[in-house]
Structure 1
């Protein structure tokens, strides 16, 4: 026979309050950090909202992982992604470590877009409704991954706050430069070796030692972003850096830093595949040592950034996701429908880089645009002749 009072809740505390009513002391997350909606691992933003949605369904860049961005040609779309990544870290109060450039590289970072891209969204709303009738109704939702697959989250996480109440992903303006008043973090830059001097020493070991010392001397809640733009580029590194014993050892050390500090570090590296194709053993090893591999293929006869406000933005290149972070090694992650499709990207000053599924335009639309441009050019020539 039990002597417990009948009015006392079983499993409650001593004062009669239920256990669920006891407040929990949750550990506060650092600015710009939020848990993954899939498995709860900590993630941060890459500074590009559409790229965050591509990373295995985590809606962010998982901490303790790296991304290798390969780009062919003479364009610098990968460098633009790295500048977004670094600018996001400085705005969030993170420490950014850059290899290959000095502290003046901060002047190339884009500024915060205080308007939040309202101009671009308002221009889309003002578009005539007749444009929707040019294509069949079943193609209307082709550019919207959420309509085709409800498991894919919305590609605008800037409106979703972090658990701490801050903004997870900011909007940036490429036409302006990041002001000192908006910077909350620190930038640690280490220039590459002097190419003209012909010195056999590489900055890889010094950079790794500097990053490790900075991480150990910082508080455990500080997030560190490692940025390596144009790795093995002849303009930044000497020929000795291309040796496998130097290059692969640096990638192994970089991977060791990410595994040693899995809750504080992320890394993003760009590699020119025009100089080091994917068929070479050096690039293959680099892909194996990276957690995620993305390849940017610029389309010919496309400008790097569309500047005309009235002109419709077109795809400027293709994107191939060869592997995604936290999908093959530690487990977890969700391979969304985007990674199985042909992806494209376009870059503009207002909306930044946007990654969407690639689709061909409707038949006849390109011919109509070409005729309209030809008519406009003829009108301009007639006006110039009359003015003369």
Structure 2
């Protein structure tokens, strides 16, 4: 117990972290996402995001993850093969203060509104998650973090160039190059769990497994492509264990033809979610989903340092992208309030007739 208290006091001294089951947790930058995955992202874990078809919302989640690290003064390692990582960091959203007027007004209105006495003892149904938490920050997507703030942060960039040479079991040399770079930076004393002068390292890999990562010079390109990706994730998970680093990966899973690849990828990571955007689909014009921009699926949740895994309050989730925040809520279908012409016609035909089916004016006395 003495060692536990010492570890707890030391771990909680890190800014932007909290302790759960004697394990360091950091925020993803989205309070509602932290809530549905069990309180945040644990140190030494790999978090996977299956991108939407256009990849725009997956990119937004990456920006929140990196922006939270800038605010908490965590070290950042930004990796991309499709675009310059410097351009990603330049578009990080600026932190903002959420006014408390909305919260107090909602509480006041609910207190004034009285319903039947039998429902007074029931708890309120909370559609949005993490609204009352103090862990994490809120960001304004319309404003970017200034350059002076970014210069004061310890940010390392890694722009991978196309390399189709076979290196040490990888048919595409990009995987081996990236794995070597991550191993080098994780070997520093600052990111070891036993270090006295340590900090949190946030590693963000943007669009891992895009067509750039495919070995085009081999005959079985699709097969080698899947083997390289799975082997890379397995080695990456072993490297990050027992460190103060968190790896955030986005993958365009809609480009994979083989479903077995997705299953093996999910087996190689700790937590995973999938974004289903309504853009370009029939759900975009469906009035049932008019309040949302897409569906949010939880595909894997791991139980770290505990025998009881976290169970989210609901699996029917949807997300909204507002100007100042990305919100994940329970999917609520709107009630049918407008009466259609068919409904009115049904009401007319449902009027009962008197005297054996004849109207009153047709009866002759």
Work out whether the TM-score is over 0.5: yes
Partner of 1:257: 239
Instruction: Show the 5 A alignment for 1:338-353.
Output: 338=314, 341-350=315-324, 352-353=325-326
Instruction: Show the 5 A alignment for 1:33-44.
Output: 33-36=17-20, 39-44=21-26
Offset of residue 104 of structure 1: 2.9
In the TM superposition, what whole-angstrom CA distance separates every residue of 1:179-221 from its partner, at most 9, and x where no partner exists? 2343453222211323xx8666532222222222223224232
Residues 1:140 and 1:299: Cα distance change in structure 2 (over 3 Å)? farther
1:81 partner SS? helix
Partner of 2:209: 232
Partner of 1:30: 14
Partner of 2:147: 180
Partner of 2:333: 360
Offset of residue 294 of structure 1: 0.8
In the TM superposition, what whole-angstrom CA distance separates every residue of 1:144-183 from its partner, at most 9, and x where no partner exists? 478xxxxxxx4342xx3xxxxxxx4121110111123434
1:296 paired with 2:267, answer no
In the TM superposition, what whole-angstrom CA distance separates every residue of 1:97-145 from its partner, at most 9, and x where no partner exists? 22214323211211122xx12299389769999xx99xxx899944447
Instruction: Show the 5 A alignment for 1:1-388.
Output: 26-27=9-10, 29-36=13-20, 39-56=21-38, 59-100=39-80, 101-113=84-96, 116-118=97-99, 121=102, 141-144=124-127, 154-157=130-133, 160=134, 168-183=135-150, 185-194=153-162, 201-219=172-190, 220=195, 221-234=198-211, 236-240=212-216, 243-261=225-243, 264-276=244-256, 280-300=259-279, 314-326=291-303, 331-338=307-314, 341-350=315-324, 352-364=325-337
Residues 1:210 and 1:330: Cα distance change in structure 2 (over 3 Å)? farther
In the TM superposition, what whole-angstrom CA distance separates every residue of 1:330-362 from its partner, at most 9, and x where no partner exists? 634421322xx3001111111x11111101112
In 2, Cα distance between the equivalents of 1:121 and 1:43? Answer: 28
Paired residues of 2:85 and 2:159 also in contact (CA < 8 A) = yes
Residue correspondences, number: 300
Offset of residue 260 of structure 1: 4.1
Larger radius of gyration: 2
Partner of 1:379: none
Residues 1:322 and 1:238: Cα distance change in structure 2 (over 3 Å)? closer
Offset of residue 247 of structure 1: 1.5
Paired residues of 1:55 and 1:325 also in contact (CA < 8 A) = no
In 2, Cα distance between the equivalents of 1:73 and 1:244? Answer: 19
Scaled by the length of structure 1, the TM-score of the pair is 0.67
Paired residues of 1:91 and 1:185 also in contact (CA < 8 A) = no
In 1, Cα distance between the equivalents of 2:124 and 2:55? Answer: 31
In the TM superposition, what whole-angstrom CA distance separates every residue of 1:219-276 from its partner, at most 9, and x where no partner exists? 2321111211211222x43435962342222111210122142xx0111111112211
Structure 2: give runs of 5+ residues left out of the alignment.
167-171, 282-289, 341-365
Paired residues of 1:90 and 1:187 also in contact (CA < 8 A) = no
Partner of 1:370: none
2:213 partner SS? coil
In 2, Cα distance between the equivalents of 1:292 and 1:188? Answer: 24
Residues 1:216 and 1:60: Cα distance change in structure 2 (over 3 Å)? same
In 2, Cα distance between the equivalents of 1:366 and 1:356? Answer: 28
In the TM superposition, what whole-angstrom CA distance separates every residue of 1:25-69 from its partner, at most 9, and x where no partner exists? 932521111112xx242100000000000113xx22111111211
Alpha-carbon RMSD: 3.6
Residues 1:191 and 1:144: Cα distance change in structure 2 (over 3 Å)? same
2:33 partner SS? helix
Scaled by the length of structure 2, the TM-score of the pair is 0.71
Paired residues of 2:64 and 2:92 also in contact (CA < 8 A) = yes
Offset of residue 24 of structure 1: 7.2
